[in-house]
Amino acid sequence: MAHQSGTDRHQVFFFSLDEQISTDHPVRAIDAFVDSLDLSALGFQKTKAKRTGSPPFHPGDLLKLYIYGYLNKIRSSRGLARQCERNVELWWLLKGLRPKYRTIAAFRADHPRALKGTFRQFVALLDQLNLLGKEILALDGSKFRVQNAKKNNYNQKKIDRHKAYYDDLIAGYRSSDFAYYPDVDAYVCPQGYWLTTTGTLTTKGNHDYRIKTYRAGAKCCRMCPAFGRCTTAKNGRIIERSEYHDAVVRNAERINQNQDLYRRRQAIVEHPFGTIKRGWGYDHTLLKGLQKVNGEIALIFLVYNLRRSMSILSVKGVIEALKSPFLGVLRLWRTLRLEKSKIYNELTRAISLAGCS
């Protein structure tokens, strides 16, 4: 019995590239979504080419490339450039364009705010499609490795050293053992000494909130029998109180009173982080600088939402929603790019297309 044989490499074939991509392929949803955006309003550069010089790549094509890449766990500009050379799906999506890796990398670095705007635009679409439950607002944070200076980097040895240091402080050091008196805005330690403040709010480090500092005084602390366990500082024990401390306490009380709701919060908000960091391997960022990192994070969550919407509605369902005349009118209204009369005419046309009276 003969082996299976392939096709003659020298044989000439005539076929349409569109025939190689199924009608329910995700690249068709990517194409429809980007084509529905007002890229200029979102802040993307080079939406209109200059009359002179080398013609640039359209930002929509590069945005499609990045959405496809992040959707398929390809994030590096060099990796995406290689895929443009050999990937039939990208041949279809980019219509045969093959940008170099420098062009690809520069696009992501130059458009962090536009990428955040694109993410918000897709969330608005999900809202219009009633895919946002709006019953519970769940908030959470997560840690991602970033490209930072060596002194700001942590390995296991450094983490263990810091943990041991803070464990020792907590064993002697807890501020919850100090009683706070709001009428006089002061603390009293377990030994009976008062910790007072000047009332000045200051910003510490890179935090975006302010704190007040409460001190007992060097003399009181040195005379205290707990000196050495409570603090070893020459200037005495210090307590820092955030300007949002009362809100944090109220939040903790609400959590204790609503454990079932808190467990639902964990199920809602921790699932995306688990999928993105564990399933997709996106536990680190590739860019430097907070603004650029935020742009990449927005791109990651845009892709997550796109994946979820395709799972719920199917690829064809997403495409149909993007082409819906009603959604088109709402988008135009949101961006205030049409006058009232034009909106009315567009709405009338949408109703007639939908067969409504």
Residue 208 pLDDT: 78
Q: Do residue 22 and residue 143 come from a single domain? A: yes
Q: Do residue 110 and residue 224 come from a single domain? A: no
Check if the beta carbon of residue 33 is closer than 8 Å to that of residue 122: yes
248 part of a folded domain: no
Check if the beta carbon of residue 59 is closer than 8 Å to that of residue 65: no
Residue 164 pLDDT: 63
Q: Do residue 223 and residue 280 come from a single domain? A: no
Q: Do residue 112 and residue 90 come from a single domain? A: yes
Q: Do residue 72 and residue 116 come from a single domain? A: yes
253 part of a folded domain: no
Cα separation, 261 vs 84, in Å, equals: 46
Residue 335: phi and psi, rounded to 5, are -85, 0
Q: Could you give the number of structural domains in the chain?
A: 2
Residue 341 pLDDT: 56
Q: Do residue 54 and residue 177 come from a single domain? A: no
213 part of a folded domain: yes
Q: Do residue 123 and residue 176 come from a single domain? A: no
Collapsing DSSP states into helix, strand and coil, what is residue 44?
coil
121 part of a folded domain: yes
Q: Torsion over CA of 103, 108, 113 and 114, rounded to 10 degrees?
A: 60
Cα separation, 154 vs 158, in Å, equals: 6
49 part of a folded domain: yes
Q: Do residue 179 and residue 121 come from a single domain? A: no
165 part of a folded domain: yes
Last residue of a domain, one of 221, 242, 263: 242
Residue 31 pLDDT: 95
249 part of a folded domain: no
Residue 357 pLDDT: 46
Q: Do residue 140 and residue 53 come from a single domain? A: yes
Q: What pTM does this model have?
A: 0.69
CA-wise closest residue to 221 among 244, 246, 189, 245: 189
Residue 338 pLDDT: 46
Q: Do residue 110 and residue 38 come from a single domain? A: yes
Last residue of a domain, one of 224, 242, 260: 242
Q: Do residue 234 and residue 88 come from a single domain? A: no
Q: Which two tokens stand for residue 149?
A: 């200076």
Q: Do residue 165 and residue 120 come from a single domain? A: no
Q: Which two tokens stand for residue 178?
A: 């100090």
pLDDT in tens, the chain (357 residues): 678 888 888 888 777 888 889 999 999 999 999 999 889 889 998 888 787 778 889 999 999 999 999 999 999 999 999 999 999 999 999 999 999 999 999 999 999 999 999 999 899 888 888 888 777 777 777 888 776 666 666 677 777 776 666 665 555 577 778 888 888 999 998 888 888 888 888 887 777 788 898 988 888 888 888 887 788 888 888 888 888 888 888 888 888 888 888 788 777 888 888 889 888 999 888 888 889 999 999 999 999 999 999 999 999 989 988 887 655 555 554 555 445 555 666 666 766 666 654
330 part of a folded domain: no
Residue 148 pLDDT: 65
Q: Which domain holds residue 304?
A: 15-147+271-323
Amino acid making up residue 287: L
